[in-house]
Structure 1
């Protein structure tokens, strides 16, 4: 049974100018239910994550300011929108959804979070619409509770997972692999264990070849017993922010390659969805839904 974290608060409307990207969090499960890829039984609704779990990854002062909505205007601008209690609750539920998903992945092979992939959040900062780093928090939770020994985080969002890289800079049990636009946000990159910077306009064949080589390299070096996958669809040529030139078919083949690799090796995978900013919401939703469709074909 493939389980998928989703909660109505995921689609919480933001202030004017920020609402469009949130539509996908309602449309993705709606489309999957409509077409019969999933049923309500696949969906679960996470509770808010506990403060103790957050503090295993994030600085206490940063968390207290986030919790009490006292970050400075400059820090809020870095995040990208004004804070609210509902947005903080949204982050807490997303993070617990990833933690619960990791347990389901260990039971069933794979699990999803419709949201998440908040990889720009570092130990003491929020950035780029990310306030709490869900996969980093979950990785620390697994290690601290001896539920995993060696973790691989695969970040194929078009933007570097700078927060994730910073959090695990000195942790030999977590291997961070980020394949991202070289000239894209964030403009100050952190150092992952394996960074693959991509030129603007890269097309399908070159991208997939680079992925094959570097995914094998990451696996060989990290020797993981648990994998996180950030499956952003902002690599599409239609994406307003991505600067790459991948077709929807190449994005699907990217996911197929990743998921088949870990299925064949018996490695549990938790998938968070990451970014997607194509002009037509249908392109975003269909590309994300392809990831789920593949998972149900490969893992069912």
Structure 2
């Protein structure tokens, strides 16, 4: 059974200019329900993340400034929008949804968070609409609870997972792999364990060839017992921020290959959806829904 973390707070209204991308958090589960791919029982609403778990990944001073809404204006500008209590609640529910999803993967092989992929949040900073790093917190949760001993984070969002790379730069049990646009945000890159920087306008065949070559080698070398996958669809040619040129079918083949590798090696995988900024919301929703469709076809 597909298990998917979703809560109405994921679509928390933001200031003018940021509301459009939030529509997908309502439309993705609605589309999957409409198709009959899932039922209401496939969706679960996460609770609140314990402060202790947050502090396994993020610095105390930074977290307290978020919690108390005292983060300096300069740091709020770096995040991209002003703080609010509801926004903080949204972030900690997303983090809890990713952790809860990990438990479902032990039984079902795969689990999803409709939101998440907040990979620009570092140990003591937020950036690019990311406040708390959901997959990093979940990885530390698995390590600290001895639920995994070797973790691979596959970040195929168009933007480098700079926060994730920084958080785990000195953690040998977590291997960070990011394929991202070379000339895209963040303009100051961190160092992942493996970074593949992509030229503007790269198309399906070139992109997939790089992925097909790199990912099996990483898995064979690292032998992870858990995988996190950030499946951003801002790699699409239609994306107004991405600068790459993947088709929707190419994006679907990317997802299929990641899942096939997880299945081949019997590694559970938690998926957070990441970015997508195409001008037409249907392009974003359809590409994200393909990730669910492929997983349902391969796993169930």
TM-score normalised to structure 2 length: 0.99
SS in 1 for 2:23: helix
Q: What residue in structure 2 maps to residue 113 of structure 1?
A: 113
- Counterpart of 2:129 in structure 1 is 129
Q: Return 5+ residue gaps in structure 1 as ranges.
A: none
**Aligned equivalents of 2:193 and 2:107: distance in 1?**
28
Measured against aligned partners, the alpha-carbon deviations of 1:90-117 in whole angstroms (never above 9, x if no partner) come to 0010000000000101111000000000
CA-based RMSD of the aligned residues comes to 0.5
Q: Hey, what does 1:284 align to over in structure 2?
A: 284
Give 1:53 shift.
0.1
1:147-296 aligned at under 5 Å gives the runs 147-296=147-296
TM-fit CA distance, 1:257:
0.6
Deviation at 1:10?
Answer: 0.3
CA distance in 2, matches of 1:47, 1:123: 23
Which position in structure 2 is the counterpart of 1:78?
Answer: 78
Distance 1:218 1:175 in 2: 9
Instruction: List per-residue Cα deviations over 1:16-48 (Å, max 9, x = no partner).
Output: 111001000000000000011110010000001
Q: By how many angstroms is 1:217 displaced?
A: 2.1
8 Å contact kept, 2:80–2:129: yes
- Structure 2: tracts of 5 or more residues without a match: none
Q: Distance in 1 between the 2:17 and 2:288 partners?
A: 22
Q: What do the CA deviations read for 1:246-297 (whole angstroms, capped 9, x no partner)?
A: 0000000000111111112111000000000000000000000000000000
Normalization by structure 1: what TM-score? 0.99
Mapped partners of 1:107, 1:148: distance in 2:
15
Distance 1:105 1:96 in 2: 14
> What is aligned with 2:93?
93
Misfit runs of 4+, over 6 Å: none
Report the secondary structure of 1:77's partner residue: helix
8 A Cα contact 2:46 2:97, kept in partner: yes
The count of aligned residue pairs is 300
